[in-house]
Amino acid sequence: MNAPDLYAGAGRASITPPLGIKTVGFSSREGVVERIESELTSTAIVFAAGGSKMAIVAVDLAIAPVAVVMDWRRRVAEAIRSTPANVMINLSHTHSGPPLPGVPPEFAFQSEMIDRYYAVLVQRIVDSALAANASLQPARIAHGEGSSHIGINRREMGADGYVFLGEDPNKPIDPVVGVVRVDDLEGRPIATLFSYGCHTVVVGPNSRVASPDFPGASRDAIERAMGGLSLYLQGGGGDIMPVGGMGWEEDCRDSKDRLGLALAGEVIKVAAGLRTNARQGERTWLPSLLGPGMTLTPWIPVEGHAVEHFEATSETISLDLIPFPSLEEAHRLRAERQRDLEEAEASGQERRVIIGNRFLAWSNRLVQAVADQEAPTADFEVQALRIGDVAFVSLSAEVFSQTTVELRKRSPFEHTMALGYSNGVLSYLPRAEDYPVGGWRVDDRYRIPDLVFQAYLLPTGLRPDSEQRAVDAAVGLLDRLREPAAAATGGR
């Protein structure tokens, strides 16, 4: 059977929130959005081959529950006539984006505004996919990798042995910049997909703006240089901070633009070296007056746009939570969190009230889980897409930099874009070695966000083996895509 031809199209829609809405991501940010720094967007690319379609959608939002994003995926799939397993939605994790209905709980006073925005948001996400689907055209893809050090490991160790949110240049990052170039048959870009793992927090807590943060500046520069649209896909940013940290100024545009341009420069360098419409032929002698002549290597036009592999797969696994405390202990913790909130409200400090509300909501969730004797587990999705020799693999969590490093190392594909923050965010997903030495405690309030599972309203933290189980499942999906016939028969 002949390989099917590949088609691709890209589309974009604005998801910029209204003035006056809160933003999610900084517990220390007071006030509401007073200005739109740059437009927030949903950018989609749709691929089609052999009667099947896939979509990758990059959205300028911080977090969204897995169940919520599943609804988006169903709606996108229905709009382009595909299936949810073939739709991947990646969140940029901008901390200057709006909250969604029901999360986080401390923004309930803005529920009507958030609901109105959400009704527009979901349709705009679908609209971006529809625009991409409507622009399908014959396409080819190419892939490459670069390297960037705009990020730094943020898990700094204090003298007391506790990790806090800081900068540690001696700890590793994932420097890889993944690039996938999608061109028309003339070699003109339809879209440039690029991935990098780093918290999107250059626009800091004192800046009351809505902003896509540094990925927006990167996209603008890439599109000016390359043409077509560009999609930033968040990688393993769970333990990575931008070099220089969070912006402290009220106007962070200069720092944001500089970081975005630095990343864009690497993407442009890699993408400019990728050719989809021509390949190098054999070295040829050119007769010359200078004796035997000179050599040149001609560029040979590429024929056709067939793609031999075009598959997607996903799997939901069950991750174990750290054992629940007794009901008596859960009630005690709730009483403490209630007192904390009351003290915060008496202080009149908005930052303290935001944190107090979040921890009280979590303690209510803990009491409910213990009282109802819920199973201490959480559903977690892994997904993998294959287009030709390019693989995309994603986890629905705030994954760490070395998780994406391991995924690429264990992948059977030469080029693998390893992503976190995809198809919703369950919580942070620390590796076993990133947990406290004495184990995670339900009554402790850690100084590093990736140990504060309470922020995601999980009753308790994920067990330390969760990250490895998620990685094993993801690698299993990649192996299945690499050898689909063998996987179907249980062989290799």
Dihedral, CA atoms, 137, 143, 148, 152, nearest 10 degrees? 90
- The pLDDT of residue 290 is 62
CA distance 110 to 99: 10
Domain check: are 58 and 131 in the same one? yes
What's the mean pLDDT when you consider all of the chain?
94
- The pLDDT of residue 283 is 86
Dihedral, CA atoms, 400, 401, 407, 409, nearest 10 degrees? -150
Averaged pLDDT, 20-37: 92
pLDDT > 50? residue 490: no
pLDDT category at 258 given cuts 50, 70, 90 is very high
In this structure, of 3-17, 80-94, 131-145, 339-353, the range with the lowest mean pLDDT score is 339-353
- The pLDDT of residue 488 is 44
Classify residue 334: in a domain, yes or no: yes
pLDDT tens-digit readout, 185-241? 999 999 999 999 999 999 999 999 999 999 999 999 999 999 999 999 999 999 999
Structure tokens at 482: 């690499």
Domain check: are 138 and 198 in the same one? yes
Domain check: are 331 and 350 in the same one? yes
pLDDT > 80? residue 103: no
Classify residue 290: in a domain, yes or no: no
Domain check: are 24 and 126 in the same one? yes
pLDDT > 80? residue 383: yes
CA distance 299 to 328: 74
Residue 119 sits at φ, ψ, to 5 deg, of -60, -35
Classify residue 137: in a domain, yes or no: yes
CA atoms within 13 A on the CB side of 44: 35
The percent of residues above 90 in pLDDT, for the chain, comes to 87
Averaged pLDDT, 19-47: 94
Domain check: are 405 and 344 in the same one? no
- The pLDDT of residue 155 is 97
Domain check: are 484 and 360 in the same one? no
3-state helix vs strand vs coil in the chain, percent to 5: 35, 30, 40
pLDDT tens-digit readout, 398-456? 999 999 999 999 999 999 999 999 999 999 999 999 999 999 999 998 999 999 999 99
Angle, vertex CA 487, rays to CA 482 and CA 491, nearest 5: 110
pLDDT tens-digit readout, 447-472? 999 999 999 999 999 999 999 999 99
Averaged pLDDT, 88-99: 97
- The pLDDT of residue 491 is 38
The percent of residues above 70 in pLDDT, for the chain, comes to 96
pLDDT tens-digit readout, 262-300? 999 999 999 999 999 999 988 887 776 666 667 788 899
- The pLDDT of residue 291 is 60
DSSP 290: S
Q: Which residue has the tokens 């299936």?
A: 83
Please list the residues that pair with 224 across neighbouring strands.
none
Classify residue 455: in a domain, yes or no: no
Structure tokens at 210: 């809505």
pLDDT category at 105 given cuts 50, 70, 90 is confident
CA distances in angstroms from 373 to 324, 335, 369, 376, 489, listed in the order given: 9, 20, 6, 9, 40
Give the count of domains, the chain: 2
Q: Which residue has the tokens 């912006």?
A: 247
pLDDT category at 487 given cuts 50, 70, 90 is very low
Structure tokens at 101: 């209905």
Averaged pLDDT, 44-52: 97
Domain check: are 354 and 474 in the same one? no
227/350: higher pLDDT: 227
Domain check: are 114 and 144 in the same one? yes
- The pLDDT of residue 289 is 61
- The pLDDT of residue 486 is 45
19/245: higher pLDDT: 19
Domain check: are 340 and 409 in the same one? no
Classify residue 450: in a domain, yes or no: no
Parent domain of 173? 6-276+308-312+379-441+464-489
Element (H, E) at 343: helix 327-347
- Positions of E strands within 125-283: 137-138, 140-147, 151-153, 155-157, 163-165, 176-183, 189-196, 209-210, 229-234, 240-242, 278-280
Averaged pLDDT, 30-50: 97
Classify residue 21: in a domain, yes or no: yes
- The pLDDT of residue 161 is 85
Classify residue 299: in a domain, yes or no: no
Domain check: are 71 and 219 in the same one? yes
Classify residue 300: in a domain, yes or no: no
Residue type, 406: E
Quote the pTM value.
0.95
Domain check: are 244 and 341 in the same one? no
Domain check: are 339 and 475 in the same one? no
Give the count of beta carbons closer than 10 Å to the beta carbon of residue 253: 17
- The pLDDT of residue 391 is 98
pLDDT category at 64 given cuts 50, 70, 90 is very high
pLDDT tens-digit readout, 119-177? 999 999 999 999 999 999 999 999 999 999 999 999 999 998 889 999 999 999 999 99
CA distance 277 to 294: 26
pLDDT > 70? residue 60: yes
For residues 60 and 212, is the Cβ–Cβ distance under 8 A? yes
